[in-house]
Amino acid sequence: MAEHSGPIFQLRLVFDSGSNDDIDAWLGEHARTALRQPGILDCSTFSVVVDAADRSGRICQYVLASDAALDDCRDSVAAQAEADLLLKFGDAVDISSGVLREDSSRELPAEEPSNCLNCGTRLRGQYCGNCGQRSRSRLISLWELVSDAFGDLFELDSRLWQTLVPLVTRPGQLTHDYLQGRRARFMPPFRMYLVLSLVFFIVAFFNPREELSLFFEPPASEADLEPDRQGNGKSDARAADRGPVFVFGDDDDEAGGTDAEEDEDCDIQSSDLEGLSAFLARRLTAERLRQVCLQIVADEGKSVMQKVINNVPAALIVLLPLMALVLKALYPLSRRYYVEHLLFFVHLHAFLFLLLTLQILFSRLAALVSLPDPIVTLTVVAASLYAPVYLFIAMRRVYGQGRFVTFLKYIVLTIAYFAGFTTIMALTFALAAFSI
């Protein structure tokens, strides 16, 4: 046999000796069929010795042109061969498989295992039928590692783009396809929701100058920016050379005035809390509310707003099942399970996160390239108006009712959504305020 660089895939058959003629006849026909397949350079069979005296063994080897041909052979010719053998001979034949790589046909290295290295299931193709792991046991290259990490971003037929494009352009289509059983081509719904929500909060609230301030030049102080008293534009920092500057009384009076204003703003009396339930009265005492108020006024609410922002993702996750209950009530005759209504809102919120992220990125890009403000405003407003239209179309596509009935349910759902969102955010603010 001529030297070649491609791999060899082999099937190993062990069977009762009485079936020798039938197996040999089947192998001969199979070899002629295999040779007609592209990528298979040769297909040969030969006998092997097995331990049991009443058992015989045969090897069927496919000499392949490349690793791509190996994958095709596993998925087509070899897989069909195993299926035919099991159909024709049943449990009378034991089948195993492996891959050989050679520089010469007479010097074959050890074969790869025929069982999945992850879960131990019998391999019948390039991927494990139980856990999905690829059958090759060799270490991957650096390029393959990078491709696994970023390949989906650049492959137009990847699940990423097959999911995001219809998510934006075809309202409700992802939910409809998922409920119809067409799922493998798309990203899992909850994974998509979590990824898009994470991207949104990073884009919207991550400030590199605050979080990575060490890598940026410090901002100029007010003293550096204020011109000197002679109006010559020089920094007052040079005034330090002329001696110390003394301030009499004004700052103390101002501080005293500020404290008085804070006390007046946060003057909460027990009489103001009359009528609360016993549960709230034990927790919302006048002193506790006053302390919270003073803390909020002291830093102009920055601490509490930061905690609110940190809690928004959890708040929206709480909102999802509540809105699914509203959908369940609006469509009592739809024969859909509660989790199917939940899926609708998972996709809807994923779309909203993606839309908001694109709006923010567009606004920042427009500022960098100096686009006219009217164009930016018009684009952002148009994208915002697309959201309510998206919800209406998605309801029609998923639940299949007429425009008028859908519109009535759309109004109810919208009111319920804003009421639920307002309530959840109020609770989030309250929890944040009492935790600072």
Give Rg (Cα) of the chain: 35
Averaged pLDDT of the chain: 78
Q: What's the start-to-end Cα distance of the chain, in Å?
A: 78
- What pLDDT was estimated at residue 223? 54
**pLDDT score at 83:** 86
Look at residue 184 in the predicted model and tell me its pLDDT.
Answer: 78
Which of the pair, 286 or 225, is modelled with greater confidence? 286
Report whether 167 contacts 174 (CB < 8 A): yes
- The answer to whether residue 432 scores a pLDDT higher than 80 is no
- If residue 340 lies in a helix (H) or strand (E), which one and from where to where? helix 338-369
For residue 215, what pLDDT band results from cuts at 50, 70 and 90? Answer: low
Q: What are phi and psi of 209, to 5 degrees?
A: -70, -25
Domain boundaries, given as residue ranges, for the chain: 7-138, 158-208+244-436
Any idea which residue has 């809807």 for tokens? 348
- Check: CB of residue 104 under 8 Å from CB of residue 113: no
pLDDT tens-place string over residues 239-287: 444 444 444 445 555 555 555 555 556 767 666 666 667 776 676 777 7
Q: Is pLDDT at 325 greater than 90 in this prediction?
A: yes
CATH node for 7-138: 3.30.70.100
* CB hemisphere CA count around 35 (13 angstroms): 11
Q: What angle do CA 281, 283, 284 make, to 5 degrees?
A: 65
Structure tokens at 162: 């097959």
Q: Is the pTM of this model over 0.75?
A: no
* Complete DSSP assignment for 347-382: HHHHHHHHHHHHHHHHHHHHHHHT--HHHHHHHHHH
- Count CB atoms within 10 A of the CB of residue 267: 11
Query: pLDDT digits over 327-341, tens only?
Result: 999 999 888 899 999
